Structure 1
Amino acid sequence: MSTLKLDDFLPYRLSLASNAVSDAVATAYRKLFGLRIPEWRLVTVLAEGGAMSQQALCGRTRMDKVTVSRAAIALAERGLIARAANPDDQRSHLLTLTLDGIALYEQVAPKALELERRMFDVFSPAEREQLLAMLKRVEAAAGGLDDDR
């Protein structure tokens, strides 16, 4: 029988690493821009992909409906996103960045890249590429587990 050693259990180590990175990023975004991680994710996804419904944002960010809704409300209250009727689905709205939202993204994106650089500078460019490829494979494998349930 195998013995589980938590410190060597890959899902646990991945969770610890993810939490450490997320905490560092959250602290930086909160201090610099007054943003929580879900809000920053919405701003970034909307900047990259244009107008989207909240359902599409849930899929793209892998955040639940409540988290996306709260982030959208907070961003709308700050005037960073706007809601418009969805011509393809009258039951939903499309969210888009306002000019202020675009300006915020243009300020935050370079800071995010700098934070990433500082955090992952301990790896060579080849190691960073390899880590990214492995993380994508882990995500795909985890998604396959969802199909098995």
Structure 2
Amino acid sequence: MDHQFPKTVTRQELLFEDSDAKFRKLLYEITALADRVETMRATFARHFGITRPQYNILFYIAQHQRDVGLTTGQVATALRVSSPHVVQEVNQLVRVNLIEKSPNPDDGRSVLLRVSERGFVMIDDLAPTLRDVNDRLFQSLSKSEFDQLCTLVATILEDAEGVISKLPVD
């Protein structure tokens, strides 16, 4: 049976010589890259004895907590996950003494999350490996290419959020 695969895009900006093959290749490569990054993060998470989602939450809090801490809602919004998911994962991180909770003085209904001293010791221990991996992962990009990549990924991610919100329900 001779069947020609249908085009998956119609925008001329996404077609090359009237073919969407380059577009489809890009999607496969983005997926493969995301899988490689997730594999690296899962490896780093094992260093802490936690899961990859817990690793993401731990590092986001460590990077953004400042002196005050973060609410679960702030973490959920930034990581584009649900607040109940963050609550569940944070509870595990509290049990292994990587995150500490304290009452939120501005909102008695919420708590503030901060990385524990143990958590920071472990992050500091892993930092040389993270620097090496990240430097090598992005070694082929110039500063302007990196800046452009950051902008493009953020823009496409926003587009993706809009698309997901309009997907037909099963």
Fold agreement, TM-score > 0.5: yes
**In structure 2, C-alpha distance between the alignment counterparts of 1:71 and 1:105, rounded to whole Å:** 18
Larger RCO (CA under 8 A, 6+ residues apart)? 1
- Out of 7, 22, 29, the position equivalent to 2:45 is 29
**Pairing 1:3–2:7 present:** yes
Quick one: which amino acid aligns to residue 21 of structure 1?
V
Residues 34/118 of structure 1: CA separation in 2 closer, same or farther (3 Å cut): farther
TM-score scaled by length of structure 2? 0.70
Q: CA deviation at 1:147?
A: 7.2
Question: Aligned ranges for residues 1-80 of structure 1 at < 5 Å?
Answer: 3-4=7-8, 8-9=23-24, 10-30=26-46, 32-50=47-65, 51-80=69-98
| CA offset digits 1:16-64 (Å, max 9, x no partner) | 321222113312431x332322222222222222211111110111122
Quick one: which amino acid aligns to residue 43 of structure 1?
L
**In structure 2, C-alpha distance between the alignment counterparts of 1:142 and 1:84, rounded to whole Å:** 35
**In structure 2, C-alpha distance between the alignment counterparts of 1:40 and 1:109, rounded to whole Å:** 14
**Pairing 1:107–2:125 present:** yes
Q: Which has the higher helix share?
A: 1
**In structure 2, C-alpha distance between the alignment counterparts of 1:29 and 1:69, rounded to whole Å:** 18
Quick one: which amino acid aligns to residue 88 of structure 1?
D
**In structure 2, C-alpha distance between the alignment counterparts of 1:25 and 1:43, rounded to whole Å:** 12
TM-score scaled by length of structure 1? 0.78
SS in 2 for 1:95: strand
Q: CA deviation at 1:66?
A: 3.8
**Do 2:41 and 2:55's aligned partners in 1 also have CA atoms closer than 8 Å?**
no
Q: Tell me which structure has the larger Cα radius of gyration.
A: 2
